[in-house]
Amino acid sequence: MSELALAAFAAETGTHVVRAPRDRAFRAFARRFDEPAYLARLRSESVRWTARSAPDFPPLLHAIHDPPPGLFVRGDASMELLRRATVAVVGARSCSPYGGQVARMLGRELGRAGLVVVSGLARGIDGEAHRGALESGGLTVGVLGCGIDRDYPAAHRELAARIRATGLMVSEYAPGVEPAPWRFPARNRIIAGLSAATVVVEARDRSGALITADLALEEGREVFAVPGEITSALSSGTNDLLKLGATPLTGLADVLDVFGLTSMDKEAVELGSSAEEVLARLRDGPASADELARATGLDAGALASALTELELAGCAVAGGGVYRAN
Amino acid sequence: MSELALAAFAAETGTHVVRAPRDRAFRAFARRFDEPAYLARLRSESVRWTARSAPDFPPLLHAIHDPPPGLFVRGDASMELLRRATVAVVGARSCSPYGGQVARMLGRELGRAGLVVVSGLARGIDGEAHRGALESGGLTVGVLGCGIDRDYPAAHRELAARIRATGLMVSEYAPGVEPAPWRFPARNRIIAGLSAATVVVEARDRSGALITADLALEEGREVFAVPGEITSALSSGTNDLLKLGATPLTGLADVLDVFGLTSMDKEAVELGSSAEEVLARLRDGPASADELARATGLDAGALASALTELELAGCAVAGGGVYRAN
């Protein structure tokens, strides 16, 4: 039985199918399914197909209890990418500046360390994780919850193209399948399934990222949660994950440990004395420009130039009207 | 042998003593020690003394491996206070607005729930925890690292008086003993020892609050750490405690669980629609007034009045140039 027929049947009937249904409709579909023609059409759209039974199907994904019939794949990298050390970085779509900053930083550091960053191309945490990985020249994989031919969300069309230029976009859904809310939990099992470890950066209660974490835990994969302020609704899900036994992630080294790797030293940055002073204050927590002026005694011009220096050096980021150490 | 003689000897020699030293100096001191006269002088200074062997010595403190010879005590409450459900709330002296807010909130909620808040009267987290307990009409105990007659730090003289008005100040050190850095770790063992659970709200790496947590763990007491942002140096110690197995604290219920208690519902607060809008934004993380104006579209006047409403209702706090949900 052709696994591709299963995937094509799921697309045509708008259903989620991982095993051949024992019904007349599917038998009829499978009988008339023209695999060579279907594959030719995929090729014409630069889409590859890797069946669950193929030797290059990702072994970690094969090991979950309900692996998809196969993966539709676009992008410049070979499937070998998904046999490397893979880490999922996921979280809230409407993340906070803190969450966005941590996701970007993690993406960058994981990418620089040679790990493959897997995420869902969504707004917020997912997008920042992909961007961070690309920024560092690292490799990243986007997992779609819709047909492989869709760039969803549309706002991430360009990001998707950048991911495909060196990495991969994958989906269990054939071209033409529309995004639908019920497909996202199914997509999350692919993200968790492809990854040896899953990091949840920020998540509200009962959010999709927590589903990804649950699926990862069920499959016995390592799950990390990034601690956040207990007064922030966006850290409520992640802090609860910590209570449930997820490992707190405070830096790259925590993830590298899983793969028996050790962290490289951060490059030392040479900063001016005003910038050092501002950075020292930011290390104690986020602050507005007003507060920084008060704390350091710098005038507006000197403060602005110190902040620019820190942002360019990657030592501080601005967001939500406040600055934070990076 | 008089335990009071031990305490008086330690004060006179500027040493830390928990068992009778086997030397001539101590034997000579003990021989000429006039206990009734010493007790009379304590009474004249409104200081009580509870020896380690006395029936009203706190049983939890008695159970640690090096309990002090006794406690010098000032304040309106009886020693029975220290047989109730006691929770230590400790942390950084130069805390962040976030840490200060959480310590105050915890002090208030623990106090309201009828638990006794134990802390070290220090600036920052300690002070906020005491203040929160007093605010809610709860009871609190200050543990000093210097003689019982000193209000240390001086800036907390008035706070110490308020604590004594309904609660207790205690110290293992006799009147006249000066504060010294080496006494603070010893004091921390008293804080941990008196308490069934210890909460670390904010702590830098290698800080005193982590010593308190270590001592609590060694004595098999429950240790909680409040999660914080991984980009804040002030949450570095607390997040590391989480890695070492401390329980993440995200709300009062976590502590009440230790005592088999359940949380009371927070009183519902009726807010205007602008205030609700601002609060919804703050629940996603701290923001400056500028950012709040952008996010809500409120003009400066309406925003200021919404913020005042939220602060008066106890739903938001300002600090470090930013506002936070409470």
- B186-213: per-residue pLDDT in tens? 999 999 999 999 999 999 998 999 999 9
Which A residues in the span 285-314 are in contact with B, Cβ-Cβ below 8 Å? Answer: 285-292, 294
Q: At B93, is the pLDDT very low, low, confident or very high (cuts 50, 70, 90)?
A: very high
Q: What is the pLDDT of residue A156?
A: 96
Q: Could you tell me which residues are beta bridge partners of residue A323?
A: A287, A318
B207 touches A at CB < 8 Å:
no
Q: At B135, is the pLDDT very low, low, confident or very high (cuts 50, 70, 90)?
A: very high
- Asked if B96 and A285 come within 8 Å (Cβ–Cβ), the reply is yes
Picking from A96, A234, A288, the nearest residue to B322 by CB comes out as A288
Question: At which residue do the structure tokens 């009203």 appear?
Answer: B56
Say if residues A314 and A270 touch (Cβ distance below 8 Å). Answer: no
- Asked if B285 and A226 come within 8 Å (Cβ–Cβ), the reply is no
Residue ranges in chain A assigned as alpha helix (H):
3-13, 24-32, 35-44, 59-62, 97-112, 125-135, 157-166, 183-194, 208-218, 236-243, 252-258, 273-282, 289-296, 300-312
Q: What is the pLDDT of residue B1?
A: 63
pLDDT at residue A267 tops 60: no
Q: What is the pLDDT of residue A266?
A: 54
pLDDT at residue A55 tops 80: yes
Amino acid at B151: D
pLDDT at residue B297 tops 60: yes
Count CA atoms within 13 Å of residue A53 on its CB side. Answer: 7
Q: What is the pLDDT of residue B267?
A: 56
Amino acid at B108: R
Count CA atoms within 13 Å of residue B157 on its CB side. Answer: 4
Which B residues in the span 94-153 are in contact with A, Cβ-Cβ below 8 Å? Answer: 94, 96-98, 101-102
Q: At A212, is the pLDDT very low, low, confident or very high (cuts 50, 70, 90)?
A: very high
Chain B environment of A232 (Cβ under 8 Å): 283-286, 325
Q: What is the pLDDT of residue A262?
A: 77
Residue A287 in tokens: 């602050």
The ipTM, to two decimals, is 0.80
| Choice among A113-122, B170-179, B185-194, B305-314 with the minimum mean pLDDT | B305-314
Q: At B314, is the pLDDT very low, low, confident or very high (cuts 50, 70, 90)?
A: confident
A59 touches B at CB < 8 Å:
no
pLDDT at residue A265 tops 80: no
Per residue in A27-51, is it b (16+ CB within 10 Å) or e — as a string?
A: eebbeebeeeebeeebeeeebbbbb
Task: Provide the 10 A C-beta neighbour count for residue A267.
Answer: 7
Amino acid at B74: R
Mean pLDDT, chain A, integer: 93
Question: At which residue do the structure tokens 């230590």 appear?
Answer: B88
In chain B, % of residues over pLDDT 90? 79
Q: What is the pLDDT of residue B268?
A: 61
CA distance A36 to A44: 12
Q: At B91, is the pLDDT very low, low, confident or very high (cuts 50, 70, 90)?
A: very high
Strand bridging mode A247-248 / A140-143: unpaired
Q: What is the pLDDT of residues B25-48, one digit of tens each?
A: 999 999 999 999 999 999 999 999
Picking from A231, A240, A249, A282 by the largest number of B CB atoms within 10 A of its own CB, the best residue to mutate is: A231
Q: Which of B197, B193, B212, B191 is nearest to B255 (CA)?
A: B197
For residue A68, whether the previous peptide bond is cis, meaning omega lies within 30 degrees of 0, is no
Chain B environment of A266 (Cβ under 8 Å): none
Q: What is the pLDDT of residues B276-291, one digit of tens each?
A: 999 989 988 888 988 8
With CA atoms as reference, the chain A residue closest to B243 would be A248
Q: What is the pLDDT of residue A321?
A: 82
Mean pLDDT, chain B, integer: 93
Residue B153 in tokens: 């730090």
CA distance B302 to B307: 9
For residue B248, whether the previous peptide bond is cis, meaning omega lies within 30 degrees of 0, is no
Residue B132 in tokens: 């929160």
Pairwise pLDDT comparison (B322 vs B59), residue with the higher score: B59
Mean pLDDT of A220-241: 97
